[in-house]
């Protein structure tokens, strides 16, 4: 089952909002050292690693193909 573009957009926006909120929260909790946003770097590296694991493990799953990719990878 494929979702329409409207629902795909909502999934991408939701995933993006969660990522942005996590970067903000990490930035509040982890102090900036030497003028470099270490918290943002850490969240992005952890997120990329997690996305790689999720894609590798679930790429053949129906939920991932239908909506998971939009929420987790693109968002």
**For residues 15 and 21, what is the distance between their CA atoms, to the nearest angstrom?**
10
Say what the pTM is: 0.78
Average the pLDDT over 40-61 and give the result. Answer: 89
What was the pLDDT predicted at 63?
87
18-44: pLDDT as tens digits:
988 988 888 888 877 777 888 888 888
Q: Is pLDDT above 90 for 53?
A: yes
Quickly tell me which residue has 């894609």 as its tokens: 55
33 — phi, psi (to 5°)?
-115, 130
Q: How far is CA 3 from CA 12, 15, 58, 71, 73, in A?
A: 12, 16, 18, 12, 16
What was the pLDDT predicted at 30?
81
């Amino acid at each position: 089952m494929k979702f329409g573009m409207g629902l795909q957009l909502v999934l991408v926006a939701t995933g993006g909002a969660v990522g942005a909120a996590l970067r903000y929260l990490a930035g509040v909790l982890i102090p900036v050292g030497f003028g470099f946003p270490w918290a943002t770097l850490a969240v992005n590296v952890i997120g990329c690693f997690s996305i790689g694991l999720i894609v590798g493990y679930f790429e053949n799953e129906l939920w991932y193909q239908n909506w998971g990719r939009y929420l987790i990878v693109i968002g």
